[in-house]
Structure 1
Amino acid sequence: MDEIRVLIVDDQPLVRNGLRATFDGAPDIVVVGEAANGVEAVRGVRSLKPDLVLMDIHMPRMDGLEATREICAPGSGIDAKVIILTMFDQDEHLFEALRIGATGFILKDAPARTLVEAVQEVAAGGALLSASVTRRLVREFARRPTLSTVRTVELPELTDRELDVFKLLVRGHSNDEMAELLTLGASTVKSHVKHLYQKLGVRDRVQVVIYAYENGLV
């Protein structure tokens, strides 16, 4: 696996030191820098060009939510993905962070192995939500009025195969599962997913699900 470049953003030095120590033992992960607030985070992302940012939310000057919005904004020219670090999975900013582009959430007190695997998963193109966060996300959407099923007319720019991938992705299937269900190669599915992201203007699987629910497509 290629080297994964990580920027750690947290206003507490002890947290940053702990995270850096965690990744020191992972041969495929290198911490390229640290930031203590959102202003430093945005500046660091532009200068250091990390693949992934571990972002705290509650920080002085510019908080993590605003920094994530700038980093993930369409046309920003930044390719880095953002994982939100939080002490509590009840953080009130959870859904807003997902909507503006965060790839997922992870708790600060998660085991070291979990943190390493989270970075590896997101860097490989996956999305990360803890089990409790996923349940909350599902409950949030379940409270909304029942919506119609996906119809081709609602996604006119997608090919028939991309529409099949869209439906399965929204239902939570992995690339391997979609390949098996659609009788396609893994690389073909990955290509369809990439084109889907481009056409919908989203960055990852979490945003595809949000896009689908918010636009009444499922």
Structure 2
Amino acid sequence: MARILVVDDQHLIRSGIVTLLRTVEGLGPVVEASDGVEAVAAAREHHPDLILMDIKMPRLSGLAAAERILALGLDPAPRIVVLTTFDDDEFVYAALRAGCSGFLLKDMPPQQLLSAVTATLSADLLVAPAHVRRLIERHVVHQQQSRAETDSTSMLTGREVEVLGFVAKGLANEEIAEHMCVSESTVKTHLHRLMTKLDLHSRAQAVVFAYESGIVQVGGRPMRPDTPGA
């Protein structure tokens, strides 16, 4: 059963979400924390599968806490979804860049929140791929690096670069397998290896990297790998 950690400095919001989640059959224990510092400690102790965390909190922000939690090296790494009262691209982009899987608005209806939690536990990307691409393209256009300036891309094989390009374009593993004429398990292997090499913690973070490194050009297509790779 999935273990969930809810983090928010506002007691009423936090307790409301915790109470709602505890009514769902099939979910495991739901733990709570009131700020980023407590969140890091709770993640270390309880190894949650999913963390719902407010962005703006005293002592340590949600984004800073997310980075520290992902740096703990928990296996498997928790999926982190940020909670916010702002439908603000700046917050969402920062969250994806930090390795979070998506974001939720605090004022969303309870049933919609439960559906989002279920979706996040079964997938690795809560924000729709098309929305992610539009969001990233708006931010990356001012900071995209060339591949020559990004040493980390040289660690990837040609096949891994190709997979990353397809992921950045919003394709699911099954669709990538069809394009590459390989099995879905092979795609998953390439994806796992490239994320390990690049120290990426979520599919969304991989999309951000693909654009910022220049593997995918803003408004363009995935770059073809320079050399073939296994």
Which band: TM-score by shorter chain? 0.7 to 0.9
CA distance in structure 2 between the partners assigned to 1:154 and 1:16 by the alignment: 39
Which residue does the alignment assign to 2:20? 22
Counterparts of residues 1-218 of structure 1 (less than 5 Å): 3-73=1-71, 76-78=72-74, 79-90=77-88, 92-129=90-127, 134=132, 135-141=134-140, 143-144=141-142, 155-218=153-216
Contact map agreement 1:72 1:102 (CA 8 A) in 2: no
What residue ranges of structure 2 are gaps of 5+ in the alignment? 217-230
Higher relative contact order (CA 8 A, sep 6+): 2
Q: Is the 8 A contact 2:163 2:191 kept in 1?
A: yes
| Shift, 1:99, TM fit | 1.9
Contact 1:38 1:64 in 2 (8 A): yes
**Structure 2: distance between partners of 1:120 and 1:196:** 26
After TM superposition, the score normalised by the length of structure 1 is: 0.82
Letter in 2 for 1:140: H
Counterpart of 1:4 in structure 2: which amino acid?
Answer: A
Deviates more, 1:51-60 or 1:110-119: 110-119
Q: 1:97 to 1:118 in 2, by over 3 A?
A: same
Gap change, CA 1:146 and 1:104, over 3 Å in 2: closer
Per-residue Cα deviation, 1:140-182 (whole angstroms, up to 9, x for no partner)? 23x43887799xx984433333232112111111112112222
Partner SS state of residue 214, structure 1: helix
Task: Give the number of aligned pairs.
Answer: 211
Per-residue CA deviation, residues 31-69 of structure 1 (Å, 9 max, x unaligned), is 431011111111111111111110101222222122112
**Inter-CA distance 28–161: structure 2 relative to 1 (3 Å threshold):** farther
In the TM superposition, what is the alpha-carbon distance from 1:119 to its structure 2 partner? 2.7
- Offset of residue 91 of structure 1: 6.2
The residue identity in structure 2 corresponding to 1:139 is R
Unaligned runs of 5+ in 1: none
Distance 2:111 2:173 in 1: 23
Which moved further from structure 2: 56-65 or 87-96? 87-96
Indicate if the aligned counterparts of 1:32 and 1:48 stay in contact, CA closer than 8 A.
no
In structure 2, relative to structure 1, the CA distance for the partners of 1:117 and 1:196 (3 Å cut) is farther
**Percentage of pairs with the same residue:** 39
Report deviation, 1:92: 4.0
Q: Partners in 1 of 2:144 and 2:84 — Cα distance? A: 31
Residue identity opposite 1:211 in structure 2: F
Question: Which amino acid in the other structure matches residue 77 of structure 1?
Answer: G
CA distance in 1, matches of 2:130, 2:187: 28
Cα RMSD over matched residues?
2.8
SS in 2 for 1:93: helix
How far off is 1:138 after superposition? 3.2
Quote how far apart the aligned CAs of 1:186 are. 2.5
What is the TM-score with the length of structure 2 in the denominator? Answer: 0.78
